[in-house]
Structure 1
Amino acid sequence: MKRVDVAYVLLLDEKSEKILMVKNTGVNASYYTLPGGAVEHGETMQDAAIREVKEETGLDVEVNGVFSVMEGFFEERDHHAVFFTFQGTIVGGEINISFPDEIEEITWMELELAEKFLHLPEGLKGLLNNTVPYILRGHVVHNS
């Protein structure tokens, strides 16, 4: 089973009432997720999150901490995926669909509806403004 790391960014509107969601074109059906995608070889989680948001939405973002870490097993792809969701802030750019073959729609979605697509356990719903820090340790060498 292949391990895949995925970085998403949770972006709230100015009133913290809506979340930016993208509608992905699926094999069987389209589905909503936060903007984000697979981490490339040699890329940090943070860099991947920022790059993916730019590619999918046209927006420039900063990430401000980790909202959640989840994992799942995707049998049909033989993948073990680990999802890192950062809390983010929009710092520039304009909403634009650069890859219409992959992204059907970009929308500001009401929190309650968006939570259904985020696969949050019941106990975490309503906690969309909480984060923990993201710390990049860089290249670590242990000398014996």
Structure 2
Amino acid sequence: MDEYIERLLEADGVRFETELRAVDADELAIVESRNRLRGGVAVAVTNGDGELLQVHNGWMDGYGFPGGGVEPDEEWEDAAVREVEEETGVQIELDRPWLVLWGEYEHEGERYDGEYTVFYRATAADDGTVADELGIEGETIEDAAWFDAMPDEAFQPDRISDVLDGSER
């Protein structure tokens, strides 16, 4: 297990959850391609108006937190900052981790090991203007926007709700 993850699992105020997610063949290919990564990050970014930054990625069933993979030689916090900027153009000030998720995958009755994803809190470091060009080449970021309530289409709505109502603190 990654040393950073071990420290987080022992830290006060950081929850640990597990998740088993059924995936189709295309999603399984994405999961298997991520094996070279250290894990993943997801970032709950708020602005001065209390709105929550959300992205709609081609593989998500709705809006969710910006985030992505942690490269083998990259620090977790650096990946969180990089992913938000790449996907949305928004500069952030990282606050703290609030959740470590161990995700496993299931496809046609077979289970596949997943990865750890660290969820962070952050605030917009500037005015929070979302870029015109979203993501980097090869990514499928379809939209990024600020929400003051749960998006009609939400990926991981329970975690979004935790941030909107402050219960993740």
Unaligned runs of 5+ in 2: 1-31
Percent identity between matched residues is 26
1:14 aligns with 2:44: no
| SS of residue matched to 1:111 | coil
| Change in CA separation of 1:7 and 1:40 when aligned onto 2, cut-off 3 Å | same
Change (3 A) 1:104 1:98: same
TM-score using structure 2 length: 0.61
Give the Å deviation of 1:107.
1.4
Measured in 2, the distance between the counterparts of 1:60 and 1:20 equals 12
Tell me the number of residue pairs that the alignment of Structure 1 and Structure 2 aligns: 126
- C-alpha distance in 2, partners of 1:67/1:127? 11
TM-score computed with the length of structure 1 as normaliser: 0.70
- CA RMSD for the aligned pairs? 3.2
**Where do residues 94-133 of structure 1 align in structure 2 (5 Å cutoff)?**
94-96=129-131, 97-99=134-136, 101-113=139-151, 117-120=155-158, 124=162, 126-128=165-167, 130=169
Is the 8 Å Cα contact of residues 4 and 79 (structure 1) preserved in structure 2? no
Q: In structure 1, the residue corresponding to 2:77 is in which secondary structure? A: helix
CA contact (8 A) 2:150 2:157 kept: no
2:62 is the counterpart of 1:25: no
Displacement of 1:124 in angstroms is 4.9
Q: Going by fraction, where is strand more abundant, 1 or 2? A: 1
- Which of the two has greater helix per residue? 2
Q: Which amino acid aligns with 2:143?
A: E
Q: What CA distance in whole angstroms lies between the structure 1 residues aligned with 2:157 and 2:112? A: 20
Distance 1:113 1:34 in 2: 11
